[in-house]
Each structure stands twice: as C-alpha cells, then as structure tokens.
Chains A and B, each alone.
Chain A
Amino acid sequence: MFRPFGGDVNPSLSLTHAYGPVFMIVGFSLFVACAMFALATLMGPKVKPEDRGEFKDTPYESGSPSSGAQHVKLSVKFYLTAILFVVFDIEAIFLYPWGVLFQRLGWVGLAEMLVFLSVLTVCLVYCWKKGALEWQS
C-alpha cells in the first residue's frame, strides 16, 4: 500500500491506495514536461531579440515548412456522416453485451434485439431514401 505519510488508514477509503499509481504518473509527467522546458531555456543558446529571424518565429512542424491557414473549414456533410456513424456504432456496441448474455436471455432477448435492430433498419432505410448517404448533391 502506498502510504507516503504513514498513519493508520482504512485501505478501502484511502485515496492514495486507489489512485496512488495515477498520482505517480501525473507527477512524473509534470516533472518531465517542466524539466524539458527548464533545461532548454537554461542550457540552449541565447538569441538576442534583434537576431530572431523568420524561422525562429515560425511554429515547428517536424522540420517541413508550415503551410496553409490555421483554421480549416470542414464541409457540413461530415456532420451527417458523423451522426450516422455514432448511431450505428452505438448499435454495434449494444450488440456485444447482448451477445455475451445471448444464452441466458433466450428467445425474449432475441425478440427484443430483433425489435431494436428493425427500428434501426427502418431508420437506415429512411436515411438512405432521404439521401443522407449521398456525398454529392
């Protein structure tokens, strides 16, 4: 049990017991991130403001010259696709626990899942006929 300050703690109630490893990772990440910046600032070559060139002020993009605007406009068409993806993805996720319990749920479970799927199928047919799956138009 991780107990840095000692003391008699009920293990089931102790925050440090449950979250100790997480706290350690958070602390370590913070340390590494701060240390890198600190070391770079302390040990790197000092550049006077008047010596700063175009390249010094450019964001670092893995060595290649940066291109394009920061804000990219995305087509609203992605919205429909994303929504449909979420709907049918959730359906697929819902099938997993049902599949695990399939034997225990028996015929009732099968019927309920068929109802669920048929509702979704109707929705798919609706989306299809309404042209939500068409990229053009």
Chain B
Amino acid sequence: MLLLSPILVLAVGGLIVMLIDAFQEQEGGLAMPTALLHFVAAAAALALWQRGVPSDAGSLVHGWLAIDKTTLFLQATIALGGAFASLLAGGYLAEHKLDRGEYYPLIAFSTAGAGLLVAANDMLMVFVALETMSLGVYAMTGFRRTSARSAEAALKYFLLGSFAAALLLMGAALLYTVTGHTDFPGIAAALQAPSPASGAAADDANAAVLAAQFAIKLKISIFAMLLVLVAMAFKVGAVPFHMWTPDAYEGAPTSTTAYMSVVVKAAAFGALLRVFLTVFGDAANASISGGWPAVLSVLAVLTMSVGNLVALTQTSVKRMLAYSSVAHAGYLLLGVVAAPHATAGIAAKSSVLFYLLGYTVSNAGAMGALILAGRRGAETVSYDDLAGYARRHPAAGFALTLFLLSLTGVPPTVGFFGKFYIIRATLDAGYTNLAIIALINSAVSAYYYLGVLVKMYMREPAPGATRAAPMKSFYVVFSLIVAGVLVVWMGLMPERWLSLAAEASGARPAAAAPAEGANNGGAPTPL
C-alpha cells in the first residue's frame, strides 16, 4: 500500500475532485486542488525515496509493479508535470470558456496511469497503465468540442494510439508464446541463451535440439521486440511514428499540449527504458552490433533530424513546439541507445532521467508562457502574433524567452546541461557519430527557437493586426514562476540534480560497476 501511495493519492484524489465537480454549484476552481494533489503525489514519491527503496532490485508489488528509485524519480517528474498542466488548465480553460470540471479528474487519472506505467514490471501492466494514461489524454485532446481541429486531433490521436496499443499487445502475446511469461524478469530469463557448460556435453543430441529451439525462440522474440518498440516509439513520438504529434499538439487545448509533451513523454520513456533494459537487456539483444540499440540509434537520428528540419519551416509557434518535442524525443533516444553500455550505461540512463526532468519544467514553462500570451478569442499561435510582444510586455516576454532558451540549450538554463549530459554519455559509450549529429541538430534548433525571440524583441506587428497581450491568471503566473525558478536552479546547480538522477539509475560506488559489466559482455545494470 505504502509503495503505491503516489499512485493511490492521484487515483483517490481524482475521485474526490470528480465528486467536488459534481456537487459544487459553479464550475471552476478545481485547478488548485488538482495541482495540490499532484504535489502531494510528488511528495509521496520523495518520501518513499527518503525512506529507502533498493535501487537495483526494487520492491515488487506482487511482481506486477517494481517500485525502485527510477520509478520514484519518474513518478515525481510526472507528478510535477501534471501539476503544471493542472495550473495551466486553470488559467487557459477559464480564459477560453472551456472550464468544465471533468478536465481535472481526467488529468489526475491520466497521471495515475502514467505513474503506473513507469512502475510496470509486466507486459499486461504496461498495457493497462498505457490505456489508463492515454484514454484520459484522448478526452483532454478533444476537450474543445466545438472546434473541428480539436476533434480531428483527438480522433487522430485515438486511432493511432489504439493501433500502437494493439501492436504492443501483439508483441506481448508473441513474447508470451515463446517464453510463457508476461512479467519482465521471467521473459528476460527465458530469453537467456542456454549455457553450453551446464552438463549438456554429455547429451549432444539433446543439446542440439535445445539450441535449435532457442534459435527459433530468439527469432520470434526479435519480431516481438520490434512490435513493442514500434508501440513505444509511437508514444514517445519518434520518427517515423510521429505523424500524430503535430496535429494532436496543435489541435488540443494548449494545457493538454503541455500535458502530452511532458507527462506522456516522460512516462513512455520510463516504460521504454524498463522494457528494453530488463526484458531485452541480455547480451544478444542489447549488443551494439546487432541488437535494439542499433535500431534505436537509427530512430534517434531520424527523430532529431526530421523534428528539427520540419520545425524550421513552421509559422505556428504551437506547431513548432510540437516538432521541437519530436526533436527532443530524439535527443532522449540517444541516452536510451547508450543505456545498455557496460561502463557508460548508468551515466546514460541518469542523463535520460535528468533530461526528462529538465524538459518537463522547460516545456511546461514554454507552453505556459504561450498560454499567457493569448487572450479570449485571440489565442496566440503564430510567430507573427508575437511581434513586438516582449517590448510591450517585458515580464511575460522574458518568461517565454527563458523557457525557449532552455529548450535551445543555452548555458545558464537546465536545457544546456540536459543536452550536455546526454551527449557526454553518448560519447562515453562510443557513439561519436551520434553525438556529432546531435550537436548539429542542436545548432539547427537554435534557429527556430531564436526566431521567436527575434519576433518578440525586434519586430513590430503589421498595421491592423491584433496585438498580443498577456492574460491575467494567477494560476499561469504561479506555474511560470515555479517552472522558471526550477529551470534556473537546475541550470545553476546541475550536479545536485544529476546525482539524484544517478542514484535513481542505480549508480554504485565507482569501482564495482565496470568490473561487473565487463564479464557479461555489455549487459546493462538491472533496473
């Protein structure tokens, strides 16, 4: 029970918020309770962390969930993202006359699903958690019911999401066929090559049969792995499975976009890390030459490059942020590629966790600053809308500037260190080419982020065009301040936060890790 407290807080709290919504006379006012709920969930995760959870084996909940430090770190990140989204929704929905109460329980339930997803230790649990998370987000995407764009976004997201879930199930079913297990450790154990030394020499014929059987097993499991990979790549929005991202991000209410880009992404990366490091973490599958890191590295390069190049041509800031979130998924995939490496693996994994936390505050902040720039009937979406915005409204303009700089990766912000750690881990793991491509992409991305700044500071709106003016909302301003403080704090003192991420990844005293990894040829540390 105690181990589940972050999830339980959100689930039970979501029910309570639902009841408040049903019984209160007037709509609205649920943003703060929902945000508090998320903060409590984050605090619960931190309290569990303080209380001490084994970082490698983790505490199993009947084998279904693994509550280890990785889980808790991601749960806290997710809860933080959910809190930002609820606060932003409080400002955005009220401003645009969408403030209906069901939005807030949906956030809470989706975050509960996301919290389960990062803890899932069983294929069935992954599916259930993924659906719990996604169903709420589909509804939140289509929340602007009268808008065709919103409905289109929700339908697209729903159809492609269901398709991805079906692929995931197919992969899980195939894995069950060959291994007889749905739990991660069970599948992993069944996929281990039978060791030739264990008395098999006495019975050559039998050993040959076993070896042949195992070869077939491995072939089917590779197919299953690809299916699972596609499903996960869809959820994180990796190219070529990113097609839903721009439309869903642009059509959804901006608070939902914030939610999708931080919470769903963090949860999907958590699940991706755990599935691939635990289930397919053995030497054959995780080898750099032939296993999934090779496949993922291609995906990562595609994701970074396509995301950045297409973002260059956008005229809508919201759509640009959608493509930029695709590009960021690419940087994150680099960390996943390096994660099974024997020596650099832990650093790679912790860099992914750190990046997710940094990306959560930066992107939620950027979305929030964009929300702040739009008033009722005049939602700011395009570059042109923002012309001269920062000169007329320096504080609001500065907020957007800060978060965009962090997304670009400019030093005093967290975005710089996120990219720095990921690229360092990639280099340490021997992927020099990938690191170079990431650096080039990062430079390219500066063009479109800074393009917003140029518009805001150096251009004047066309005569007759509506002038963007910030809306007045305590919720949005509050979340921007929190996110801004975190962005700068994590940017100024990254080591502190990175050491937390490293602890979450199971870093141990320096001497032990390399010797261990060297023996089994690049096997990753267990989660």
A126 to B23, CA, bound (A): 8
Q: With a CB–CB cut-off of 8 A, which chain A residues contact B22?
A: 125-126, 129-130
Q: With a CB–CB cut-off of 8 A, which chain A residues contact B18?
A: 122-123, 126
Q: With a CB–CB cut-off of 8 A, which chain A residues contact B19?
A: 122, 125-126
Q: With a CB–CB cut-off of 8 A, which chain B residues contact A95?
A: none
Is the pair A122, B15 in contact by a Cβ cutoff of 8 Å?
yes
**Smallest CB–CB gap between A61 and chain B, Å?**
37
A119 to B15, CA, bound (A): 8
Q: Give per-residue flags for A92-129: 1 if the beta carbon is below 8 A from chain B beta carbons, else 0.
A: 00000000000000000000000000010011011001
* Closest partner residue, chain B, to A118 (CB atom): B15
A-B contact count (CB 8 A): 14
**Smallest CB–CB gap between B16 and chain A, Å?**
9
Considering only residues 1-42 of chain B, those with a C-beta below 8 Å from chain A are: 15, 18-19, 21-23
**Smallest CB–CB gap between B186 and chain A, Å?**
24
Considering only residues 171-194 of chain B, those with a C-beta below 8 Å from chain A are: none
A129 to B15, CA, bound (A): 14
Q: With a CB–CB cut-off of 8 A, which chain B residues contact A123?
A: 18
Q: Give per-residue flags for A18-48: 1 if the beta carbon is below 8 A from chain B beta carbons, else 0.
A: 0000000000000000000000000000000
Task: Tell me if A's interface is mostly helix, strand, loop or mixed.
Answer: helix
* Closest partner residue, chain B, to A131 (CB atom): B22
A126 to B104, CA, bound (A): 14
* A interface bracket (residues with beta carbon within 8 Å of B): under 10
**Smallest CB–CB gap between A109 and chain B, Å?**
15
Q: With a CB–CB cut-off of 8 A, which chain B residues contact A122?
A: 15, 18-19
Considering only residues 40-98 of chain A, those with a C-beta below 8 Å from chain B are: none
Centre residue among B15, B22, B23 by max chain A CB count within 10 A = B22
Q: With a CB–CB cut-off of 8 A, which chain A residues contact B23?
A: 129
**Smallest CB–CB gap between A80 and chain B, Å?**
14
A122 to B21, CA, bound (A): 12
**Smallest CB–CB gap between B409 and chain A, Å?**
44
Q: With a CB–CB cut-off of 8 A, which chain B residues contact A129?
A: 22-23
Q: With a CB–CB cut-off of 8 A, which chain A residues contact B15?
A: 119, 122
**Smallest CB–CB gap between B57 and chain A, Å?**
25
A119 to B186, CA, bound (A): 33
* Closest partner residue, chain A, to B22 (CB atom): A129
Q: With a CB–CB cut-off of 8 A, which chain B residues contact A119?
A: 15
**Smallest CB–CB gap between A65 and chain B, Å?**
41
Q: With a CB–CB cut-off of 8 A, which chain A residues contact B21?
A: 126
**Smallest CB–CB gap between B160 and chain A, Å?**
23
A119 to B16, CA, bound (A): 10
Q: With a CB–CB cut-off of 8 A, which chain B residues contact A130?
A: 22
* Closest partner residue, chain B, to A119 (CB atom): B15
* Closest partner residue, chain A, to B18 (CB atom): A126
A119 to B14, CA, bound (A): 11
A13 to B15, CA, bound (A): 50
A122 to B16, CA, bound (A): 9
A129 to B27, CA, bound (A): 13
* Closest partner residue, chain B, to A128 (CB atom): B22
A119 to B105, CA, bound (A): 13
**Smallest CB–CB gap between A88 and chain B, Å?**
17
Centre residue among A119, A122, A123, A125 by max chain B CB count within 10 A = A122
**Smallest CB–CB gap between B135 and chain A, Å?**
13
A130 to B100, CA, bound (A): 11
**Smallest CB–CB gap between B20 and chain A, Å?**
10
**Smallest CB–CB gap between A69 and chain B, Å?**
27
* Closest partner residue, chain B, to A126 (CB atom): B22
A126 to B24, CA, bound (A): 11
B residues with a Cβ closer than 8 A to A are 15, 18-19, 21-23
Given contacts A122-B19, A125-B19, 12 further A-B contacts (CB under 8 A): A119-B15, A122-B15, A122-B18, A123-B18, A125-B22, A126-B18, A126-B19, A126-B21, A126-B22, A129-B22, A129-B23, A130-B22
A residues with a Cβ closer than 8 A to B are 119, 122-123, 125-126, 129-130
- What are 5 contact pairs spanning A and B, CB under 8 A? A122-B15, A122-B18, A126-B22, A129-B23, A130-B22
